[in-house]
Structure 1
Amino acid sequence: MNGAIGNERDGAAGKVLQWRVLIANAWGGNRGDEAMLNTLNRLLKSITGEVSVSVLPFRNEDLDIDADMRVERSRIGEYWYAEIPRGMHSALNARVPRKLARIVTTTLHRAGSLADESLVRPYDLILSAPQGPTLGDMYSAKERIVEPLRLAQRVGKPYMILAVSAGPFEASTASDGLVQSVLQGASRIVVREEVSLGHLRQKFPSLANVEAAIDIVYASRWSLTGKPEPERRAYEDFMADIGGDAVGVCISMTPARKPTNPFDREAYLRQFCALMDHVLSRSAGRLLLFPHLAFDMPALEQIRAAVSQPQRVSILPPNLDSDFQRDAISRTGFFISSRYHPTIFAIQAGVPFMCIKNQFKVEGMMEKIGLGAIPSCWQDESLDRFKDTFDACWRERDGIRSQVRVASEQAGSIASIYREVLARAHREWLGRMTDGDMTDVRAVDAA
């Protein structure tokens, strides 16, 4: 890629040194998480052509990502501590005195770490994958998220946490000491919004290595280069039929604000269908529904069947990856987003939008780049609120388009920190190699 540094050679041995990077805790089944992984990979490849990128999924699922990343599927579940049931953490927190709970948790954690340090030994840099607020107590996953990083800490490998949301945190849990130790050992922690920065600083006030930026997707535009030609032709034919005045739509079929909140799927679908009928009555083009999550298709098909004008509703083929989704959003005239990354895709493409907020992270992102005053609503608000928000955004769509284009440039500038951080990590690795630290580096014969 353009801007890549040339081959790193050990002059005495005539070898090419390869920088080996592991992206741990990767999520799939979500076009936003996949776009973040692709962006991270492309930034690494723009820094040096001599880099290998491996991905460790957080759970056993497909990752529809760039083909030049190696997915370490054989590692699923091998680090034992990650398989401790969530209920055990809850039981420790609720029934065991705090100091004893921390001792028990630490013992379990270290037992798993000692058993599987080989997970991180082959790599020169370990990154925790960009993602939502799993580093917190919203999803009860933070102990498992920090485990690969704790392994890196134990064997002396540099590690970073980039482009994540964080928090909120409970007042006190058995794993607080472990989590704080891992966070303090990170070379860099970059969260996506100020609210996440606030959560971390409130919970761990001694952290000095954390800062706020924005989502990493803003650091690189999408690309259809290299996509299979039959897939591209089918996509172009599909989009030509849709036209340029379509309203793109992404629904969220997860609870609003917190994943544990009540959520009546059928009631919400009825409300959303009513909103779609309202949109069809106000607009002249097609509705293009986007399957952003792997399980969205049944809901989208139900919407298409239930609206008053189903002939005006199309669904983007679910096999199209995150690059195609971003490109398709750029070709719509207006976008309705109920999720974080589709909102980012619309902003990056300069498309006016209505945001139905699902979690704090989207609100923090919009405020960060000056879009906080654009009319929006929360997913758990009424149909009338949905309709009023759409009407306000639709009326002002030309003005919103202008604001979004300015915000997109600002977001791209903020997101440039990610390449800078990674380039610095690469320079530091080269420095260690130059100083003769070759004990854990594989050199490959130059071609």
Structure 2
Amino acid sequence: MKENSLRLDFYDYDLPKGRIAKHPLAKRDQSKLLVYQAGTVEDRHFYDLPMLLPDNSCLCFNNTQVIPARLFFRKPATEQGAGALIEILLLHPLEPSSVMSEAMSTQHSVTWECMVGNLKKWKSAQVLVQKLIIADQEVTLEAELIDSNQKLVRLNWNAGISFAEVVGAAGKVPLPPYLNRKNTAEDRQRYQTVYAQNPGAVAAPTAGLHFTDQVLNQLMQRGINFNELTLHVGAGTFQPIKENDIKQHNMHAEQMVVTRENVEKLLNAEQTIVAVGTTSMRTLESLYWYGVKLSKEPSADFQISKLYPYEDDTPKQLSLADSLQNILNRIDRLKTDTLVGETEIFIFPGYQFRLCQGLITNFHLPKSTLILLIAAFVGEDWRKIYQHALGNEYRFLSYGDSSLLLRR
């Protein structure tokens, strides 16, 4: 590893603003697809994907669903004029449950950790009100700031409906800040994968935005295996790295949901595991390290800290099969089929991949955690890949084009 390979400035490149895709293409699978394998780069289109994957590939999807997590409340008007507009961005549920599926199905009241716009103009305990019409009934939604330091917001509503229904009616899609535009009606559908199932993300797993039902059907006809996991993508994915020593970056935690079926499918040693997106890759690699934790403590919590894979006391020779079997044993002991955990895993150059041999992903911001993950996966060829994309009119970031990166 080069001496400067853990310095942030080594992962910089010039991204002209005009190369950032502000809107999606008319058809999802018409995007360009850069194919990288064994040091070579080829230009294709995403609809070619079914014929490009290795035989016996297993595509691992993140089936999280983006929620319209941006809520707006207007403070009451005063003699001085209209009341201030307060923006709430939902981040993590806390009560009555921190488990996303339970929080989204809750009725009447929830408490979330949030980002709050115009926070200084919202006093603690002040209740803001919004009137909604949901399924032909009037619903009163109230927001109360219960802790201004922690930015904890309690939301109450008067109808016996789920929070998912409430936020679906009241919220707006939280587009990435670098798009620098207001969201449109189109975004509610297009900033979402066609296979999204489990509500809870505040950012889309954008590698999956290119898939269509037609592409998925062609993949199945080809005999490609599917494995759907869940990682609820948080707003921390957009958090810039500020320290030049990348290991000092404060990684965000994101909630994972993994089933017995997920783990059993991964135990097929003959398959080539291809992660659809960096979120799927982080989930898959976190699974291996959870199995490592279980080898040392059979009742260990399903939580992976950012530098756990790099710690000196981590076992060096625990096979993937043994790690996954540890997880199945844990599932059996808990008498459940589903594990809910959190990962902060930070994948940067020097990381040894345990599950993933392929990655489908978009093109990422310079000096970001995601470009570090790409560099960890393909080595210094990340520069070749990005120079090719910049020189051949690829569109970048969330609504941009795609790449298929294969390590073998």
Q: Which structure's relative contact order is higher, taking Cα pairs within 8 Å and 6+ residues apart?
A: 2
Q: Could you state the TM-score of these two structures normalised by the residue count of structure 1?
A: 0.26
User: TM-score of the superposition, structure 2-length normalised?
Assistant: 0.28
